[in-house]
Amino acid sequence: MDKQAPTILVVDDDADFLEQQKITLESAGYEVWTADSQKEAEELLEKQCPDAAVVDLMMEEADGGFALCYHIKQKHPDLPVIIVTAVASEAGLDFDAATDEERSWVKADAMLAKPVRPEQLYKELQRLLK
Amino acid sequence: METLRLLVVDDELGMRLGVEKALRQYTVRLPDIDDEVSYEVEKAEDGKGALAILNERPPDLLLLDHKLPDITGLEILDKLNRGESPETLTIMITAYASLETAVTATKRGAFDFLAKPFTPTELKSAVRKATRHLVLQREARRLAEEKRQIRFQFISVLTHEMKAPLGAVEGYLRIMKERAAGDDPAVYDQMLDRSLVRLEGMRKLIFDLLDMTAIESGQRKRELQTIDLKEAAERAVETFLPEAEKRDITLELHAPDSLLMTADRSELDIVLNNLVSNAIKYNKDGGRVDVTLSSENNHANIEVKDTGIGMKPENAEKLFKDFVRIKNSRTRRILGSGLGLSTVKKIANLYNGDATVHSEEDVGSTFIVTLQRTPADQEV
């Protein structure tokens, strides 16, 4: 077992959301890196690799979150990626990476709708970091 | 050039061939949609043959004889109404100018009727009329669908923009409730401040949305009166002077002694307030904002020039659309609904004018709004 705290990369263009995820994840014992754009996240990933990534869909470029997930999975196929999004419900799209086929398409291991409840996020992280 | 398919159903061979010949080279111009229509003629000699084609590939236009060897034209019309080809427009051919049949046919959904015998000119005239109706009807349907799509998109983005601040405030409240950020009260004070900022942003979004829907719906009564644009600009400058001074930004108005125009006061206020407020918000501390009014023929020009962060030309083009905000590290903490400039443009359009921007990244932006000083139609 790894004794060190797992590192989570959180990517979102909403500064407040980043701040909140940092506080809640840190209080749950994770180490947190934040990035507020696809670009910043990719630069960070060039240098280091976290244990998991939490990525928002709605970033500068309309599909920045998807593109980022795709790149992460290309480089680190085993790195768990959780997509968080506020888009799902109002666009009438019900994202739920439930099956292997869906997971392979969205290149994410889980999808959570915003606002994300901390318990939900912990649960997913625990499941994926096993 | 669009080709419409026309099916002629008549048991007389001469009739079928005559229609085909008359329409072979015939085209109809439709100035409304700037298009031209030609015809491809298909023929059927009885009801059975007609129904086969109608089921297989419904034509755009149906030229239907009432007296057929097997069934009547009216029966075909009824089947057509029950079927799934409401797109087909029918012109009924009635044998001996029987008004009764014509009336019945029209009641059962025929668009028009032609009385036998008819000349090629009469045929063309009826076909032209039906074509115009058909094409305009389709165009109207297409526009309605497009409108529905735009509305759906707008509401999707709107709800997303409303949920973001709600989520942010809710997130902070949860952290505060759980005391999840440790024991330092200063950290919680910051969260309260950020929550208030996000709520203010939401309030601004709601007000901008109200402005925009009022302008767009045309429901609001416009009160057009003679207004001095200079006075309106002075009011806007005064309103934002404290905000400018806080950041050491010089805000100046350059205008002729008076610039009279026929306008709605609150519309002018929305335009000026948005432009001046943006010029300050997206400026650098210690920068400048110059508001310059001028007139040219029957147009008044409002120019607002800032020394702010500017933007790339490809972003400048998108700026006047609903909910478009240029997102980058420098705009991230600036409040905005993404509706202000699109409303400015909509108002400018009400005055036969326009809103444009010239911008250079890191140097600044110049927004220019032109408004017609005396509208052609005074009452709206």
Chain A partners within 8 Å of B163 (Cβ) = 86, 90, 114-115
At A35-70, the pLDDT tens digits run 988 888 999 999 989 999 999 876 555 567 788 888
Q: Return the structure tokens found at A57.
A: 């869909």
ipTM over 0.85: no
- Dihedrals phi, psi of B181, to nearest 5 degrees: -105, 25
Q: Which residue has the higher pLDDT, B96 or A17?
A: A17
A16 at interface of B, judged by CB pairs closer than 8 A: yes
- C-alpha distance from B282 to closest chain A C-alpha (Å): 18
At residue B376 the predicted structure's pLDDT band, cuts being 50, 70 and 90, is low
Q: What region, left, alpha or beta, does residue B179 occupy, with left being phi > 0 and alpha being psi -120 to 50 degrees?
A: left
pLDDT in tens, B142-165: 888 888 887 887 787 788 778 888
pLDDT tier at A106, thresholds 50, 70, 90: low
| pLDDT at B84 > cutoff 70 | no
Could you tell me if B149 lies within 8 Å of chain A, comparing CB atoms? no
Maximum separation of any 2 CA atoms in chain B, in Å: 98
Question: What amino acid is encoded at A69 in this protein?
Answer: C
Neighboring chain B residues of A58 at a CB cutoff of 8 Å:
160
- Give CA–CA dist A86/B178, Å, rounded: 24
Structure token pair of residue B361: 């990244």
Q: Band the pLDDT of B331: cuts 50, 70, 90.
A: low
Mark yes or no for CB contact B181/A23 under 8 Å: yes
Interhelix angle B185-217/B340-350, rounded to 10 degrees, is 20
Tell whether A113 lies on the interface with B, counting CB pairs under 8 A: no
Residue type, B246: K
Q: How far apart are CA B315 and CA B301, in angstroms?
A: 23
Other residues' Cβ atoms within 10 Å of the Cβ of residue B59:
23
**Using the beta-carbon criterion (under 8 Å), do A90 and B180 form an inter-chain contact?**
no
Chain B residues with CB under 8 Å of A91 CB are: 156
> Which SS3 state, helix, strand or coil, does residue A48 take?
coil
Structure tokens at B230: 């200079």
- Domains defined along chain B, listed by start: 2-145 (3.40.50.2300), 225-372 (3.30.565.10)
User: Is B172 near chain A, with CB under 8 Å?
Assistant: yes
Confidence of residue A115 (pLDDT cuts 50, 70, 90): confident
Q: Which of B175, B194, B198 lies closest to A24 in CB terms?
A: B175
Q: In angstroms, what separates the C-alpha of B80 from chain A's closest C-alpha? A: 36
Between A79 and B151, whose confidence is greater?
A79
d(CA B37, CA B108): 27
Contact between chains at B163 and A27 (C-beta distance less than 8 A):
no
Q: How does the average pLDDT of chain A come out, rounded?
A: 80
pTM of the model: 0.63
Which tens digit of pLDDT belongs to each residue from B179-214? Answer: 988 899 999 999 999 999 899 888 988 988 888 888
Phi-psi region of B56 (alpha: psi -120 to 50; beta: other; left: phi over 0): alpha
Per-domain residue ranges of chain A: 7-128
pLDDT at position B320 over 60: yes
How far is it, in rounded angstroms, from Cα A109 to Cα A130? 13
Tens-place pLDDT, residues A3-36: 588 999 999 888 899 999 999 999 899 999 999 8
Whether A103 shows a pLDDT value over 60: the answer reads: no
Q: B171 vs chain A: nearest CA distance in angstroms?
A: 7
Test A16 with B198 for CB contact under 8 angstroms: yes
Q: In residues, how long is chain B?
A: 380
Question: Residue A13's pLDDT is what?
Answer: 83
Torsion of CA A71, A77, A79, A83, to 10 degrees: 50
The interface residues of chain B toward chain A in range 294-353, judged by CB-CB distance below 8 A, are 327-329, 332-333
Which of these, A113, A81, A82, lies nearest to A95 by C-alpha position?
A: A113
Cβ-Cβ contacts under 8 Å, B330 against chain A: none
Residue of chain B nearest A27, judged by CA positions: B180
* The CATH fold of domain A7-128: Rossmann fold (3.40.50)
How are strands ordered across the β-sheet holding B354-360?
B250-254, B288-296, B299-306, B364-372, B354-360
Which amino acid, one-letter code, is at B169?
V
B333-359: average pLDDT: 85
Residue type for position B17: L
Positive/negative CA dihedral, B98, B10, B41, B21: negative
Paired with B294 in beta bridges are: B301
Residues of chain A contacting B327 with CB distance shorter than 8 Å: 13, 59-60
Q: Residue B159 and residue A58: Cβ atoms within 8 Å?
A: no
What is the pLDDT at residue B164? Answer: 83
Q: What's the mean pLDDT in B339-345?
A: 87
**B41-83, pLDDT tens digit by residue?**
999 999 999 999 998 899 999 999 988 889 988 889 888 877 7
- What are B226-264's pLDDT values in tens digits? 999 999 999 999 989 988 999 999 999 999 999 999 999
Question: What's the CA gap between B22 and B62, in Å, rounded?
Answer: 15
Q: Which of B77, B99, B97 is nearest to B89 (CA)?
A: B77
pLDDT reported for residue A99: 54
pLDDT bucket at B172, cuts 50 / 70 / 90: very high
